[in-house]
Amino acid sequence: ARLLLLHGPNLNLLGVREPEIYGALTLEALNADLRARAQAAGHTLDILQSNAEHVLVERVQAARSDGTAFILINPAAFTHTSVALRDALAAVALPFIEIHLSNPHAREPFRQHSYFSDKAVGVICGFGADSYRYALDAALKRLPA
Ligand code: DQA
């Protein structure tokens, strides 16, 4: 099956940005690892990072008709702000998992609300890059046969 991984704003700086919170792995290395894991399981992982809300909204909309079976998304700061991205996910009605490197519940109060969690199949946060690996495993287990 085809899976889609979306990374929100500032995740292009992974490995450089606040490494004490987000870890030292670069986005490129993380993406390569996840792609290889999906491929080894016989699936395809499409990946997009954007700092722009509309680009993410349009990619989610495209997933409606491009054969995507499951979405993995770290909305990053849009987690706490984006009704538009939430609505796009609801519109395509594809199952998705919300991912965070850090544990937003252990951070500033403004990070404790998500526009996505109540619509997600599940939420995985606080395990650094492993949050993505656990989410991929969970998605692979839930793919239609
Ligand atoms: C994040 C948590 C968000 O609060 C923050 O804005 C991010 C990254 C995470 O992966 O821990 O950019 O989604």
pLDDT mean for each 10 residues of the chain (145 residues)? 98 93 94 98 98 98 97 98 98 98 97 98 97 98 83
pLDDT at 145: 60
CA dihedral 92, 63, 83, 96 (to 10 degrees): 80
User: Complex ipTM above 0.95?
Assistant: yes
The position carrying tokens 């619509």 is 119
Distinct helix (H) and strand (E) counts, the chain: 5, 5
> Which residues, including other chains, have CB under 8 Å from residue 99's CB and lie 6 or more apart?
72, 73, 74, 123, 124, 125, 131, 132, 135
Ligand 1 pocket check for 101: Cβ under 6 Å: yes
Atom of ligand 1 nearest to the CA of 11: 12
Q: Quote the longest CA-to-CA distance of the chain.
A: 41
**2-131 is a CATH 3.40.50.9100 domain:** yes
Residue 132 parent element (H or E): helix 129-141
**Residue whose CA is closest, atom 12 of ligand 1?**
76
If one residue of 14, 25, 79 were mutated to test the ligand 1 pocket, choosing by the most ligand atoms within 8 A of its CB, it would be 79
> 18 — alpha (psi -120 to 50), left (phi > 0) or beta?
left
The residue whose CA has the least distance to atom 1 of ligand 1 is 76
Question: Nearest Cα to 10, choosing from 76, 86, 105, 100?
Answer: 76
**Does the CB atom of residue 74 touch ligand 1 within 6 A?**
yes
